[in-house]
A and B are shown apart, each in its own frame.
Chain A
Amino acid sequence: MPELTSHTAALRRLLAKLSLPLSLRVTLGAFAGSLILGVALIALLGFPVLSAMRVAGEGAFGDARAVADTLVFMTPRLLVALGALIAIRGGLFNLGGEGQLQMGAIGAILPFLAFGNIGPLLMPLAIVSGALCGALWGLIPAVLKLWRGADEIIVTLLMNFVAIYFVKYLVQGPMRPVGSTFNMSAQLPREGIFVPLIDGTRLHLGVILAVVIASAVWVLLQHTAFGLKLRASGQSPGFVRLQGQSAGRMVLSSMALSGAIGGLAGTFEVLGVQYRLIDGFSSGLGFEGLAVAFLAGLEPFGAVIVSLYFGAINSAALSLQSSLSIPAALADVLSGLPILLLAVISGVMLTKGKPVWTSTR
């Protein structure tokens, strides 16, 4: 019965299309596992599990304010992840998201400090300046790699701390308003910030811009010649050289772009959340962004979903702290766990000859 076999073959093809790819199944497993561990941890610490889960759910998605908080927490992590994944897809392990974010925050406040309140021009100028600062900071490891062969992993990691201390220096000295005793710069005027889009929530323009940037990164990677070259240089640098393309130009442009997007993460924190440059505004956002990028399998839309999860975890943690006094450090635990589980599962699959990721990217 040839007709039946062709039917079953079609059915099998359809099922194969519908069934989740291995990488997605593994990632979902890692998230489920970490949530179970998180709940177990809450129980272990002697907190009421059921009410904790209810509070967490309401804290992350309960009302407009909760959803807005989740989205606001999502934004910097998503942007750092987008920056990181561009570089890593191009074969460069840019672990400098934290530093690029810090520099982007400096860039956001610079136009105001330089020109004062110049009206509606201030905000776009701050965005450009923040992206530029991040891009320049991202270019340093690229230049060092090309010029001196310095390994970008170590250089970007070290530069994170240079940037963190540089921000500390700026807000304790040069950028601190005369007479102030707080470690922060002057506040941006209302014309220069992302005003809350919905009254009573913290939702700001940066959230929307971040998702737009995610789409742009996807288009760039999948539908442009630049993206093709970038992915090719990540998967097979030798092939790119054989094609007569300059590997150096690729290193520079991908790191500049990566740094610019990482910088925007800091810029949007200043324009949309803090309204000023302030010491310690990022508690490891850059590293969380890296975890997001890896968990998303280095896919831009995956990063949107994973960073949404991270945002929800963080706004849930705040509710848990305020209503049940469960320490908000739980958010860090729940952010670290999935990536650990994913790395372990991927490693085990590798030893079994079933790599989760088909490429080495």
Chain B
Amino acid sequence: MDLNSVTIALFLAAGVRMSVPVLLAALGELVSERAGVFTIGLEGLMLFGAVASAVGLAMTGSPVAALAIGMLGGTLAAAVLALGTVLARANQIVMGIGFNLLAMGVTSLIRQMVLVDTPPTGSLRAVTMMKLPWLSDLPVVGRALFSQSPVFYVAVLLAVALWLMFRFTRSGLLLRAAGENASALDAAGQPVLGLRFGAALFTGMLAGLGGAYLCIIASGGTFIDDMTSGRGYLAIAIAIFARWMPLRTLLVAIALGLLEALQFQGQYLGIQIATPLLMATPFVVALVAWIVMGRAGAAPGDLGKPFLRGAAH
């Protein structure tokens, strides 16, 4: 077993690469949860983003455009979902479960009706790898962190931006108020439903980008039915486990990505575990983290409650 720096760098790079879709979705989830909307439909939003990006790639041939179309697809799907959960005050859990079922069916239909004979062509290089100048030459971390897809850098910047927004800006405060005490915010004359709807759209955009990453970058532009395979649910768990904090979400998502990367790089690191068990580890670790964490920390006060003017809390 030779455990050299290249092996470790490759392993870290793979882990970071695996973490991106879940990281994006988790960042999206924490925004809508902070605004009081529990988006169980995250898995479905990712699927819509993935299939939209595959259609986009088939139509435009440009991977950048495909990612943008994936984001758009996620946003549109989120608008439909939020029409129910935010505007019509549907039960957010029931709605989410139904939405995920629908998403499985609709995305599979789109694959079979629209994507039938359009194998992806052309180079995806523009979105799969961007070496940052001189940072990528650093030993180990250069390959692990600075030779990634540009989408990863966007995700990191987003995490920082969200942290700044929630901490220092008025819109961050308003969003948090919509989730903590919607009635008080409403009494202060602020548009609770508008804020929640906006947050839900943002969630859809990020989940859509996460799905598009899965489809365009992680599987070469091919959409596969149910290709998210539970990542949306994992992202929900990460957002909650990270206590709705963007930077913590970033770290947790990467840590779980490393576990997933063991399936590719594990044998070089001297770790021999069957692939299905490794695929299960992020879920197990998230569960164990929950157990360790226990009751600590408080969720947004109005999380999951549809806003009804005049309803008692």
Contacts and interface: CB of A to CB of B under 8 A. Distances in A.
Interface of A: 45, 93, 95, 144, 148-151, 153-155, 157-162, 164-166, 168-169, 172-173, 283-284, 287-288, 290-291, 294, 327, 329-340, 342-344, 346-348, 350-351
A162 B90 contact: no
Given A158-B287, A333-B109, A165 B94 contact: no
Given A158-B237, A347-B89, 12 more contacts: A149-B295, A157-B40, A160-B230, A172-B275, A327-B109, A329-B112, A329-B225, A332-B104, A336-B102, A343-B98, A348-B88, A350-B306
Contact of A340 (B102, B108, B226, B237): B102
A311 B44 CA distance: 23
B233 A327 contact: no
Contacts of A287: 97, 100-101
B44 to A, nearest CB: 9
A343 B91 contact: yes
Contacts of A344: 83-84, 88, 90, 95
Contacts of B233: 157-158, 160-161
B124 interface: no
Contacts of A148: 290-291, 293-295
9 contacts: A144-B291, A158-B283, A161-B229, A162-B284, A290-B97, A327-B112, A336-B102, A336-B103, A343-B98
B197 to A, nearest CB: 14
Contacts of B286: 158
A329 B226 CA distance: 11
Given A161-B233, A336-B99, A336-B105, A168 B93 contact: no
B105 A351 contact: no
B91 A346 contact: yes
B271 interface: no
Contacts of B308: 350-351
A325 B236 CA distance: 37
Contacts of B283: 158-159, 161-162, 165
Interface string B273-313: 01111011001101100110111000000000010100000
Contacts of B109: 45, 327, 329-330, 333
Contacts of B234: 158, 161
B287 to A, nearest CB: 5
Given A144-B291, A154-B290, A340 B99 contact: yes
Specify the main secondary structure of chain A where it touches its partner: helix
Specify the main secondary structure of chain B where it touches its partner: helix
A291 B291 contact: no
Contacts of B112: 327, 329
Contacts of A335: 101, 105
Contacts of A168: 276, 279
Contact of B113 (A45, A155, A336, A350): A45
A350 B274 contact: no
Nearest to B233: A157
B101 A150 contact: no
Interface of B: 40, 83-85, 88-91, 93-95, 97-106, 108-109, 112-113, 225-226, 229-230, 233-234, 236-237, 240, 274-277, 279-280, 283-284, 286-287, 290-291, 293-295, 306, 308
Contacts of B83: 344
A169 B98 contact: no
A93 B97 CA distance: 12
B240 to A, nearest CB: 6
Contacts of B226: 283-284
A342 B102 CA distance: 14
A346 B276 contact: no
B84 A330 contact: no
Query: Which 10 residue pairs spanning A and B have beta carbons closest together?
Result: A332-B105, A336-B102, A339-B98, A336-B101, A329-B108, A165-B280, A333-B105, A149-B295, A343-B90, A347-B90
A348 B88 CA distance: 5
A142 B103 CA distance: 30
B97 A294 contact: yes
Nearest to A348: B88
A343 B103 CA distance: 16
A201 to B, nearest CB: 27
A166 B97 contact: no
Contact of B279 (A150, A165, A173, A330): A165
A153 B88 CA distance: 23
A343 B94 contact: yes
Contacts of B103: 336
Given A148-B290, A332-B104, A162 B97 contact: no
Contact of A159 (B101, B236, B275, B287): B287
B95 A169 contact: no
Nearest to B229: A161
Contacts of B105: 329-336
Contact of B291 (A150, A288, A294): A150
A330 to B, nearest CB: 7
B239 to A, nearest CB: 10
A156 to B, nearest CB: 10
Which of A148, A168, A284, A340 has most chain B Cβ within 10 Å? A340
A284 B101 contact: yes
Contact of A348 (B89, B98, B225, B240): B89
A153 B93 contact: yes
Nearest to B225: A329
A331 B102 CA distance: 9
Contacts of B88: 344, 347-348, 351
Nearest to B113: A45
Nearest to B292: A148
Given A150-B294, A161-B280, A347-B84, A339 B101 contact: yes
A161 B281 CA distance: 10
